[in-house]
Structure formats: C-alpha cells, structure tokens
Amino acid sequence: MRTSPMLEHLMEALRCLPGVGPKSAQRMAFHLLQRDRKGGLQLADALSKAMTEIGHCKECRTFTEEDVCNICNNPKRCENGLLCVVESPADIAALEATGQYSGRYFVLMGHLSPLDGIGPSDIGLDVLDFRLQRGDVTEVILATNPTVEGEATAHYIGELCREHGVSASRIAHGVPMGGELELVDGTTLSHSLLGRQKLS
C-alpha cells in the first residue's frame, strides 16, 4: 500500500503470527480497518498487556501474570500429592477439561531434544528436582506427548523420580501414538488418566 506506510507496517507486523503470509496479512488488515477497528484496538491492548505482564508460575512454570498460578496456589490441589507433568500449558487446559484430575501440574514448556541442544535444565528439570526433594509430591503422572521425544522425556523424569523415591506413572492407553495430547478428546484423555501404569 504505497498510499499508507502505516498500513504497510501493520501488514508486516501481522506476519509475526504463525501461519500468516502476505495475502492473509492484507486480508486481516483490511478487515480490521473497514469493519472492526474496535476489535483491532482491543487486540492491540490485549497483546501489549500479555507480552509485558505474563510470565511463568514459579511452581509449575505455566503461563500466568501472578508469581504463583491459581492452581498451585489452591491448597486443595495438593491434598492428593499428585503432580502431572505436561509439555505445554495447552495440555493443562485439555486435562482440566476432563474434570478427572484434581492434583497439580508441572509444565516442561517443551521436551528433551539433545539434537536441538535442549537439555534437562532447559525444560525446568532443575526446578522439578527441587520440588521432588521438598517431599510434598507422592506420585508423578507423566503426561508428555506420546512421541519419541515425549517418551524419552518421560523416561528421564521417571528415573529422576526413582532417585527421589517418588512413585511415577505414565498415562497410557487411549492416547494415540504419534499424536499430540492437546488434540485428544476428553473421554480418551479421561481413560488414559484412569488407566495409567506404574513405572517405578
């Protein structure tokens, strides 16, 4: 748009969104300018707040604007001594939606991937180590994705649990191999929680 450097800049900026190329950036910019300026301004506000104020929970590493998220802060969620380890905050949303789990979480924000240089401390296993030492976790449920990396990560954390004398289980049947946890339907996910198998 040579008639508007500001519009050109907006189309460029929209391309930071995954899956947005030049054509969809133009479509989005025109749509907002012609039909939804209010929505565009609300998005600007939500973005700048989220980018500056959302951090990670000190306890579980999920996204939150608080120091400690409201799941970790809820005393009822530590009564059963369960800690469910997941790869991403989206997995928490999926597990919460089943209504089958009332323990706490630990979010790796990824998985072990030695070839990409992602080792234990990059996925917060030093923090997890500290939590296992603290003694309030009686069982770790390994809910990493059923991919090669997810399995390897679960195995690694299983060993860590064994060192600390903490019981570890892996969510099992129901989750299709090679799939992603957050895409699984609630019933399947409920089954995989109930049918978890002891590792150590």
**3-class DSSP state for residue 88?**
coil
Residues in 71-90 at the binding interface with a second copy, rule: CB under 8 A = 71, 88-90
| Residue 24 binds a second copy (CB under 8 A) | yes
| Residue 99 binds a second copy (CB under 8 A) | no
| Residue 3 binds a second copy (CB under 8 A) | yes
Rounded to whole angstroms, the Cα distance separating 134 from 82 reads 14
How near is the Cβ of 177 to Zn ion at its closest, in Å? 29
Q: Which amino acid is at 193?
A: L
Q: Are 149 and 112 in contact (CB under 8 A)?
A: yes
Residues in 32-61 at the binding interface with a second copy, rule: CB under 8 A = 32-34, 36-37, 39-54, 57
Which residues face 107 on adjacent strands?
86
Binding-residue total with a second copy (CB under 8 A):
59
How near is the Cβ of 198 to Zn ion at its closest, in Å? 25
**Which listed residue (32, 60, 82, 141) binds Zn ion by CB under 5 A?**
60
| Residue 59 binds Zn ion (CB under 5 A) | yes
User: Between β-strands 197-198 and 167-170, what pairing exists: parallel, antiparallel or unpaired?
Assistant: antiparallel
C-beta atoms surrounding 31 within 10 Å:
12
| Residue 123 binds Zn ion (CB under 5 A) | no
**3-class DSSP state for residue 198?**
strand
The region that residue 165 occupies, defined by phi over 0 for left and psi between -120 and 50 for alpha, beta otherwise, is left
Provide the binding-site residues for a second copy, judged by CB under 8 A: 1-7, 9-10, 12-14, 16-19, 24, 26-34, 36-37, 39-54, 57, 62-65, 69-71, 88-90, 92-93, 96, 109
